Amino acid sequence: MQPTPFKALAAAICTLALSAPLAAQEEVRINGEVVERFNDLLVVDEGDRRLLIRPEGSSGERFQIGDDIMVEGRLEGDTVTASSLRHPESESSANAPRQGRVIAPDVADLQRQLSERRFGEMVELKRRDDVYRITSINEEGYDVRSYFSPEGELIEWHIKRPGHDRPHRDDSLSGLDQSDVENSLSEQGYRNAILADFKGRHMEWLAENDAEEQVVLHVDYRGDVYREKRLPAWPAE
């Protein structure tokens, strides 16, 4: 995919700059998707807002539109001066034991796990650090990003539904009961769900999945899970 033309990016920057009042600076850490870029300038969609990312140096040039990204830096209005940019999966593997050799993925087993979850056929497999990132397309036509360990364990998955397809908190929350969401999560195979936070387009819940793993869930305001991330296990004594 080609970089965004300068005029289009300039318009996006102006829109971001004019849409928010002046705000105090604060240190932030965000996760989102790159939706615009020009050279090392990035626009990241965090789910309920878009932020302009100004990397220090040229570190933004290695990211492409559609990449998931983790940003740390100083926020002022809708602009983040980034001190660190990286792919989220690199942090998941930062504390994992380093592999002495490259382990070839069992593609058939990975596809079996995708099919069991109705994530569709694999269309792309990439290795980043000690994590395999797989893109597939589900029955509804949405891209699904799945992250597997070198041993073939599913660590995280994310159905890449566009923001406008997910109801907004302000339009939905007043007519949604907590018990309705809890029942919906139970029907989707989750147990012991605990509400953690409200965002613009999703809620965050802690729960156990069908493999008895502790996970963080992104749940839209219909009660549908579209992202699951496994929490790290407590280290053995």
> What is the pLDDT confidence band of residue 165, given thresholds at 50, 70 and 90?
confident
In angstroms, the CA 172 to CA 10 distance is 34
Query: Rounded to two decimals, what is the model's pTM?
Result: 0.64
Amino acid at 110: L
Residues 180-219: tens digit of each pLDDT:
999 999 999 999 999 999 988 899 999 999 999 999 999 9
Beta strands across the sheet bearing 191-198? 121-128, 131-137, 143-148, 154-159, 225-230, 214-219, 203-208, 191-198
pLDDT at position 112 is: 95
CB-CB contact of 226 with 193 (8 Å): no
| More reliable by pLDDT, 47 or 7 | 47
**Positions of E strands within 39-67:** 41-45, 50-55
In angstroms, the CA 128 to CA 125 distance is 10
CB-CB contact of 172 with 223 (8 Å): no
CB-CB contact of 195 with 41 (8 Å): no
Q: How many helices (H) and strands (E) does the chain have?
A: 5, 13
Does position 156 have pLDDT exceeding 90, yes or no?
yes
Residues 27-49: tens digit of each pLDDT:
888 888 888 887 778 888 876 67
Does position 21 have pLDDT exceeding 70, yes or no?
no
Amino acid at 162: P
Can you list the alpha helix ranges (DSSP code H) found in the chain? 6-19, 88-92, 107-116, 169-172, 178-187
DSSP-derived 3-state class of residue 128:
strand
Does position 145 have pLDDT exceeding 90, yes or no?
yes
